[in-house]
Chain A
Amino acid sequence: MTADALPHTTPRRRLTPGRACLLLGLLSAGLALAHLHAGPGLTAGLASLVNISSASTEALVLHFAWWPRLAMALMAGGGLALAGVLMQQVLRNPLAAPTTLGVASGANLALMAASLLAPGLLVLGREWVALAGGGLAMGLVFALAWRRGLSPMVVVLGGLVVNLYFGALAMVLLLFHQEALKGMLIWGAGSLSQNGWQDAAFLAPRLALGMLGAAWLLRPLAVLELDEAGARSLGVSLKWLRLGGLGLAVFLTGCVVSVVGVIGFIGLAAPNIVRLAGARRLGTRLLWSTLLGALLLATTDQLLQRYSGILPTLIPTGATTAALGAPLLLWLIPRLRLHGSAPPRPSGTPTARHAAPRRLAAGLALALIAVVVIGALAGQGAAGWQWASPLDGELLQWRLPRLAAAAGCGLMLAIAGTLIQRLTANPMASPEILGISGGSAIALMGAIFLIPAPSNPMLVGAGVLGALAALAVLVMVNRKSGFQPERLLLTGVAITALFEAIKAILLAGGDPRGQQVIAWLSGSTYYVDTASALTVTGAALVLALLAAPLARWLDILPLGAATAASLGIDLRRARLSLLLLVALLTAAATLVVGPLSFVGLLAPHMARLMGFTRARAHLAGAALTGATLMVLADWLGRQLLFPQEIPAGLVASLLGGAYFMWGLRRL
């Protein structure tokens, strides 16, 4: 129930939605007036809204850039907040929002693809391209979550997976077309700057239409606050109602996103703040959220305009709100009521245990060896396809370290995935989702941009520090709840959102070093040399040995907290140590293959489908599968577009994503 999903605030409530809006409104108006006052003066500034008879450039800029920008900020913020309320109401999920459901990343990918393949479409209408992409992405999220009754957690995790997958696809496009797509990077980071009233004139009627639609759906949507049976007994067609509400939300998001780009977190933050401030009924929440969203974005934008002028680059508003929204989400997580006491559902369909897991594992090991041999000896050179001699040291010095690193990373991610999936009893969990990869990636981007000519050891050090910082955040936010699986995963969502935001800001500036960031983010074994390959494989073996004795915990934990406690397991200690192991495994692998691989999700799934059911067998099976997958991905990536290389992480995530879609029915 939506209203119950948040704690009841204390009776002595000081913050009401009205007061919050008043406060922000005053701040925003104050900033705006200060800007006008510093410019041509108050009266002339206000006059510039309607007429441009004055010849001064100042008045011109105010009329054609500053005022439309203010109008745009208000409209975009209001529209996104409205979309957020609609999504949260329909899905009865306090975490639903345009960004968390993948609408924004779908629109982003669609526009990128269109600008490369069919630029004519962009001339005809950007908003329809954005709408199509956004709708497709959200449809995918629903398909992912359908079997679990669109349960809030699964929807948000599905959104995250879709965000990651579409992000990976966008990364492939970026890697090979950075020069052609540099404008898209600014759009993806959400800039509000305007140079006329045409965009505002485009958005205003569509926004009005969306508001009318929301008002029309108000009564039936309010019925959704009842539980499903109650709603049905009142004669409401739930299916159509949901479809209508979500369709409206996607339409609003698509329109906003197509003119100003991706604006993060307003759609999530505004409705939640309004609800925390005490608005309960749908009508009041719609009204106040829209207002608050508008003011929130306008204030942020005014502050940015005021203070970012000193930098030689543009700081886009959309990505900035997203970066500010991430801490807000971290703050919200302990305050959400997530029905965590219910025993988790068994993950995946029960699969038959394989009669002889050992024989199966031996088969997998043979497959791994075969893939390694192919990877080491087959490949293209200047003269086309060649089969190298096993004694060709000149050639193998390049291939062997990469193969070893790929295998090591695949193995570590697979073990981390198995641990986290068993720990959370959630088949959609994977190490990427915990945000450790994201933390490590944030630190690496910082190192590339802040250190003039970073050496590889420096980059590795930064990556490890980032992973540890992310781990610290995970522990701090979740210690109180005893590392409850759902909250843990939500923390990961927040860290990943922060990572996306920082990435967007850095890439939007158009700095040539962005290419390096993209190259690393896409997760290639390219940068591996013999020393690091040995380190990675060594770490993989040591950590794998560490994981083996934990198998008993892994057999018991999925049975639920009560069962585990009654069997004498110290839950907190077990969860914390497993978590630490997952963090180490993920950090070590991320440094090599980047934050975007689905192997941690894929390998445990496949191992389970093959019939490895007991924890120890599951770990071994997943490890072998993961190593094989990664070596295969690395080899394919080196051959498909020779001499250009598609990074192994991207190949793996494209394969993994496809498998994920295919396996939906089994979820």
Chain B
Amino acid sequence: MSLPYRLRHRASRWLAGPFLMLLALLLHALPALAESPRLATLDWTLAETLSALDTPPVAVGQVDAYHAWVREPALPSSVTDLGLRTQPNLELLASLDPERILVTPMFSNLTPRLERIAPVENLALYTPGRDTWTEMRELTHQVAALVDRDAAATRLIEDTEAHLEHLKQERLDDDAPPLLVVQFMDARHVRVFGDNGLYQAVLDRLGLDNAWTGTTNAWGFSLVAIEALAGLDARLVVVEPYPAGVRATLSESGLWQRLIERSRGEPLTLAPVWSFGALPSARRFADQLVGALENDDDR
């Protein structure tokens, strides 16, 4: 069932009739690709994990927004947009006839409905009280088991961990200052990231300290006014995007300017990284962070 559909789909896109056989042969030569089941997911974190395992889902919720906020790994152009993540288009989903639908606990109220289309797999990440990195590894294995790509999962985990270890050993100074990772909501409020979040997990792997030790919510951040950052001896890391007009306002803000003066160097600015992501986002964040720290040392 799945093979003919894939063939037809891809063939009509890229290849004319005579190449069909060739493609079939090719796909046979790559058993993993050929046998990968047709999965649909509502969640971007699961979508990025699937893509990183080279088995991108056939359908995801809010594809455009995924590319704006998660960015990488990019979804193939063949992926179908299911509409809002909280209200995926069920008729469309049913017509795609997926073999399995992956969700996170946030969407558990949709489970009974989705189960009428295909078996639903509920995978948790960022469970409060659990070590984020361990859970991320487990999630990767669970997802891989569903697409029969256990080896790829092991590889992805090992690669990511080795890469982060390499960054830690080779490219980071031992005396790196504690960091304070924030994202601006408006000119007066930031999300500051801490326990139970992606950024914290990456900082831990890199052996960097997070200066924020305050409470965080179940998604690993706390919404605070800028004044809450005062007095923390740290280097500021700002994750983009800045909302409209915020940069201009900040340049006039007495408190922000003094905060920068007293912090450990100019704030580092990083391109957007999906702050509720899994291993691929973790790796991107680590690369950008280390790159920014290095650039700064060169100056």
Contacts and interface: CB of A to CB of B under 8 A. Distances in A.
B84 A644 contact: yes
A313 B84 contact: no
A510 B90 contact: no
A314 interface: yes
Contacts of B89: 642-645
A511 B94 CA distance: 30
A342 to B, nearest CB: 48
A195 B217 contact: no
B223 A510 contact: yes
A455 B109 contact: yes
B18 interface: no
Contacts of B254: 63-64, 195-198
Interface string A393-407: 011011100000000
B138 interface: no
Contacts of B38: none
A57 B276 contact: no
A63 B258 CA distance: 11
Contacts of A645: 83-84, 87, 89
Given A179-B65, A198-B253, A191 B188 contact: yes
Contacts of B276: 512
B262 to A, nearest CB: 7
A339 to B, nearest CB: 44
Contact of B91 (A175, A310, A399, A516): A399
Contacts of B94: 394-395, 398
Interface in A437-468: 452-456, 459
A187 B186 contact: yes
Interface stretch (A119-127, A136-144, A271-279, A605-613): A119-127
B244 A115 contact: yes
Contacts of B85: 515
Interface string B62-97: 000100110000000000111111110111101110
Interface string A54-76: 00011011011110000000000
Contacts of A452: 105
Interface stretch (B143-151, B162-170, B226-234, B282-290): B226-234
B252 interface: yes
18 contacts: A61-B230, A61-B255, A64-B253, A65-B225, A123-B245, A182-B185, A183-B189, A186-B185, A195-B256, A196-B253, A312-B216, A379-B91, A398-B90, A453-B109, A510-B223, A519-B87, A642-B83, A644-B89
Contact of A510 (B184, B185, B245, B255): B185
A512 B219 contact: yes
Interface string B211-239: 00011111101111111001100000000
A65 B255 contact: yes
A193 interface: yes
Among B224, B255, B262, find the residue whose CB has the most chain A CB atoms closer than 10 A: B255
Contacts of B185: 182-183, 186, 510
Interface of B: 65, 68-69, 80-87, 89-92, 94-96, 105-106, 108-109, 112-113, 116, 184-189, 191, 214-219, 221-227, 230-231, 243-245, 248-249, 252-256, 258, 262, 276
Nearest to B96: A382
Given A198-B253, A312-B214, A526-B87, A193 B108 contact: no
Contacts of A344: none
A513 interface: yes
Contact of A175 (B84, B217, B249): B84
Interface in A310-328: 310-314
A555 interface: no
Among A58, A182, A455, find the residue whose CB has the most chain B CB atoms closer than 10 A: A182
A509 interface: yes
B19 to A, nearest CB: 24
A193 B81 contact: no
Contacts of B65: 179
Contacts of B187: 195
Contacts of A64: 227, 253-255, 258
A459 B94 CA distance: 26
Nearest to A60: B258
B129 to A, nearest CB: 13
A191 B217 contact: no
A640 to B, nearest CB: 12
A524 to B, nearest CB: 6
Interface string A156-195: 0000000000000000000110010011101100010111
A381 interface: yes
The 6 A-B pairs at the shortest CB distance, nearest first, are namely: A119-B244, A193-B225, A64-B255, A65-B227, A196-B254, A57-B231
Interface in A483-524: 508-513, 515-516, 518-519, 524
A529 interface: yes
B264 to A, nearest CB: 14
B224 A516 contact: no
Given A119-B244, A643-B81, A60 B255 contact: yes
Contacts of B108: 453, 455
Contact of A198 (B214, B224, B252): B252
Give the interface size bracket for A toward B: 35 or more
Nearest to A65: B227
A314 B188 CA distance: 12
A72 B83 CA distance: 42
A398 B224 CA distance: 43
Contact of A314 (B116, B223, B252, B255): B223
Contacts of A175: 84
Contact of A195 (B83, B113, B227): B227
Given A382-B95, A397-B116, A186 B255 contact: no
Contact of B105 (A195, A399, A453, A519): A453
B243 A512 contact: no
B13 to A, nearest CB: 14
B244 to A, nearest CB: 3
A3 B223 CA distance: 45
B253 A60 contact: no
A292 B189 CA distance: 28
Nearest to A116: B244
A115 B186 CA distance: 11
Contact of A191 (B81, B83, B113, B189): B189
B91 A395 contact: yes
Contacts of B91: 379, 381, 395, 398-399
A41 B224 CA distance: 25
A123 B83 CA distance: 32
Nearest to A513: B106
Nearest to B254: A196
A448 to B, nearest CB: 9
Contacts of A310: 215
Given A193-B225, A197-B254, A398-B91, A643 B191 contact: no
Contacts of A63: 254
A191 B87 contact: no
B109 A459 contact: yes
A382 B98 CA distance: 13
Contact of B215 (A312, A394, A398): A312
Among B87, B108, B248, find the residue whose CB has the most chain A CB atoms closer than 10 A: B87
Nearest to B252: A198
A334 to B, nearest CB: 39
Contacts of B81: 643
Contacts of B116: 397
Interface in A518-559: 518-519, 524, 526-527, 529
B258 A314 contact: no
A119 B81 CA distance: 27
A310 B224 CA distance: 12
A529 B113 contact: yes
Among A195, A197, A516, A647, find the residue whose CB has the most chain B CB atoms closer than 10 A: A195
B189 A186 contact: yes
A313 B224 CA distance: 7
Given A65-B227, A455-B109, 5 more contacts: A60-B255, A60-B262, A119-B245, A191-B189, A195-B226
Contacts of A60: 230, 255, 258, 262
